[in-house]
A = this chain, B = another copy of it.
């Protein structure tokens, strides 16, 4: 059955994901411009050919890491918007899952941050810019999930911020911040992560004027 040994099938199923993981770590360590496909291949102990089989260019690889980072965030947070809780409680749960993403999928989230920065700086080719704008749109939809709850929680009298745009910017910078400074301690990793997540979420919600429960 020739179709079973097509180039799509002779590699392990998780090959693409392995490449994205190694790419995320390479981009996290060196940034987009200083990272080469060679670096990613070296980290995987594979040939460049294996990577080019899945991704046409470094920019494609970067965009795929960015996209997967965003998809993981949506998958973790979006279902919480459909629960019956108050807006303030939804916001707390969403913030917790968001910060958990920053801590547990840090390399991918660092790439999301850098992608947004590259876009703002315009250091991209036209095609890279189009792809990045699509990703930026998806980031806006994600941000809108939080804005909706922030608005409702303020209307409920549970939050006390002034300008919604400023509050959203500062909240996300605060919740995203572990991407820059979190260094996992190997011993009792889950407990360490939980403690960091709890402190960052508390800072963010108190920052928005939520009274401590």
Contact = CB atoms under 8 A, between A and B. Distances in A.
A199 interface: yes
A169 B181 CA distance: 7
A168 B41 CA distance: 37
Interface in A73-129: 117, 121-123
Give the dominant DSSP class at A's interface.
helix
A121 B200 contact: no
A170 B174 contact: yes
A178 to B, nearest CB: 8
B29 A199 contact: no
A195 interface: yes
B167 A177 contact: no
A195 B163 contact: yes
B31 A121 contact: yes
A70 to B, nearest CB: 18
A206 interface: yes
A174 B167 CA distance: 11
A33 interface: yes
A19 B162 CA distance: 38
